[in-house]
Structure 1
Amino acid sequence: MTASPLTLTTPAEHPFAPFVRILGKGKRGARDMTQEEAREAMGMLLDGKVEDTQLGAFLMLLRHKEENATELAGFTEAVRARLDAPQIAVDLDWPSYAGKKRHLPWFLLAAKCLAGHGVRILIHGGGAHTAGRLYSEQFLELLQIPLCRDWQAVSRALDEQHLAFSPLGDWMPQLQRMIDLRNTLGLRSPIHSLARILNPLKARCGLQSIFHPGYQEAHREASRLLGDTAIVVKGEGGEIEINPDARNHLFGTRNGESWDAEWPALSALRHVKPDRLEPQHLLAFWRGQVEDEYAQQAVLSTMALALVGLGADREQAFAQAEEYWQTRNQSI
């Protein structure tokens, strides 16, 4: 009896495999993605057209290579193309994804004070992904910042209070899932960086805090490629908050042109880091019940940063920030 011949079938390559190959083909074969490739790859990730193994491989290969401006711009284009967001007027896009561990989130008081004077601010964040940090979401009730679970609520809060907090998971759950892989993969992925550049409602200015040196320029260039107005800083703890004890470099882009500014430290001596972070201290400072030099400098300079993003020069911005703070509504 003659055995029948063995039939071999070569499986078709998965459509996402080429993007993994671009990043992982060894020292000589790997390369950066073009903006179009990055847009297509992120589109497949957002549309659920990849395997979990491909997702993990892609994120970690990109992390190892380090994402560049062109890739960030392409990723952002893919996200924006899938946002089901109405036209809502926003002055400042304020991403908050890092959490604080050395100081309280004084930037929230800066945003609240600006909003009290008519500046429309959207804050968005990605939840508590790293142990030992305090996240903006934990302070919303204390500071009476509206938590908005859909775009209609965002629009209403901006009209009524000029301030809204919107969780990333509500409007782009696929990205939130990627951020949540941090404890599975053992490393933060480039999605933590991408979230800061999204500017989902196309605010007049996007503020970004990128802690690790070298990435600030990439984010500024990505915003320029997207046609956005933006300021990127190395914020305190990774949040959009000026550290008054350090020099601060501003990486800006407006009307397709890049600009830089150097702000000197506001304090001659470094302040002593608090032993514990007490949320009630934030509230007491807002109400004028306690004095805190570090907090005062951090809040005013962060407000000034935002006002520079909206077109003021440094001197005007600090003067206006001081005026806003002195005339804030202290009741919460």
Structure 2
Amino acid sequence: MTSDHPFAQYVRILGKGPKMWRDMTFDEARAAMNMVLAGEVEPLQLGAFLLLLRRKGETGEELAGMVAAARDHFLETDVRAPVDFDWPSYADRHRQQPWFILSAILLADQGYRILMHGIAGYTEGYAPTRPALDIFGIRQATSLSEAATALQAENLVYLGLEHFCPSVQALFELRPLLDVRTAVNTFGRDLNPFAAPHQLQGVFHPPYKALHLETLKALKQPNSLIFKGGGGEVQRNPMKPVLVDALVGGEHQVQEWPEMTGESVYKWREEDLSPAELLRMWQGKLILPVPELAIIGTLAFALKLAEPDLDYKAAEGRARDIWESRDKGRFG
């Protein structure tokens, strides 16, 4: 008689009968994901585990345990950097321009240090993020150490997931095999490599807001804004009211931001995804009123997170002033 595989216990927890399965604890989820990331799991087990999790729905406690496991598997585990904002960018299939990059540049110009991180590559036909970073000369680090060093001189640095946690990047690459999102699409956004005190979270589906909130509470993240973002990115939709779940000093708040315009469409060419369009917007050579509001509104979210006493109108007004006073020739 052969003994059970060590990972079988975690499949069993999720896969037992309708009245016998249960959620995993933080420690169980951390142990299970540690085995996954260490390559100690058979492919059959991994597929079953991820799909059973998806079928039942992950809990914040489970996702927090998986974040802890991912942090255990960073290529460098003792690197620190004085970062103000963690800015995850993991939506590789959105059909909007990454206007949020301009918001991040403007936020960095206010003296805040920002680490933006995300997955490698993008799907053909969808808006690219990394080429847009190149257009603006934003440093793309290739390790946590390099990012930490760069942040001593620059306020905005990007770090690809493949450069600091390739075992989690490998889980993202299972998407073509499974054709569904898995837990990694959620917990990958919460990694916060440098433990920044402020974190922005743009989710694709509103139900994921509560899940991220519970995850961040379990991780003791002090300050965060979680909202339905354009294309699942940290990008405000200015055409609709936005219901934001916020953590302020560890306490949960619900913020109701009003719409910024009566327009109902962005009015830009969907077929033109060139990063050069973003540069033209910065330079004032391309006027797109609604995307400009997306830039201003996203920046207002960040300013409000950094300064909780700002009211919505003041945050938006300051963000507008910052946008309108930018140096349009800076990236010429």
TM-score bracket, shorter-length normalisation: over 0.9
SS in 2 for 1:59: helix
Tell me if structure 2 keeps the 8 A contact 1:145–1:163: yes
SS in 1 for 2:70: helix
Shift of 1:100: 5.7
Identity among equivalent positions (%) equals 37
Residue 56 of structure 1, aligned match among 32, 47, 51: 47
Greater mean deviation of Cα atoms: 294-303 or 81-90:
81-90
Task: Decide whether aligned partners of structure 1 residues 103 and 273 sit closer, same or farther in structure 2, where only a CA change above 3 A counts.
Answer: farther
Which residue number corresponds to residue 279 of structure 2? 283
SS in 2 for 1:28: coil
Q: 1:211, 1:127 → 2: CA distance?
A: 19
SS in 1 for 2:153: helix
Shift of 1:321: 1.4
1:251 is the counterpart of 2:249: no
1:239 is the counterpart of 2:233: yes
After superposition, give the CA deviation of every residue in 1:191-246 in whole Å (9 maximum; x if it has no partner).
01111111111002111111112110111121112110211111001000000111
Residue 190 of structure 2, aligned match among 191, 197, 209: 197
Q: TM-score under structure 1 normalisation?
A: 0.92
Q: 1:85, 1:320 → 2: CA distance?
A: 37
Shift of 1:85: 4.2
SS in 2 for 1:94: strand
- Structure 2 matches for 1:100-111, cutoff 5 A? 101-111=94-104
Tell me if structure 2 keeps the 8 A contact 1:99–1:239: no
Q: 2:283, 2:124 → 1: CA distance?
A: 30
Shift of 1:273: 4.2
Q: 1:316, 1:310 → 2: CA distance?
A: 13
Shift of 1:91: 0.9
Greater mean deviation of Cα atoms: 97-106 or 180-189:
97-106
Tell me if structure 2 keeps the 8 A contact 1:206–1:230: yes
Q: TM-score under structure 2 normalisation?
A: 0.92
SS in 1 for 2:205: coil
After superposition, give the CA deviation of every residue in 1:146-168 in whole Å (9 maximum; x if it has no partner).
11001222123222220111010
Residue identity matched to 2:196: A
Pairwise CA RMSD:
1.6
Residue identity matched to 1:117: Q
Residue 319 of structure 2, aligned match among 315, 318, 321: 321
Tell me if structure 2 keeps the 8 A contact 1:88–1:201: yes
SS in 2 for 1:159: coil
- Structure 2 matches for 1:220-231, cutoff 5 A? 220-228=213-221, 229-231=223-225
Residue identity matched to 2:241: R
SS in 1 for 2:18: helix
Q: 1:28, 1:196 → 2: CA distance?
A: 32
Which residue number corresponds to residue 6 of structure 1? none
- Structure 2 matches for 1:60-139, cutoff 5 A? 60-83=51-74, 84-99=77-92, 101-128=94-121, 130-139=123-132
Q: 2:5, 2:244 → 1: CA distance?
A: 43
Gaps of 5+ in 1: 1-9
Shift of 1:130: 4.0
Residue identity matched to 1:328: R
Q: 2:123, 2:183 → 1: CA distance?
A: 15
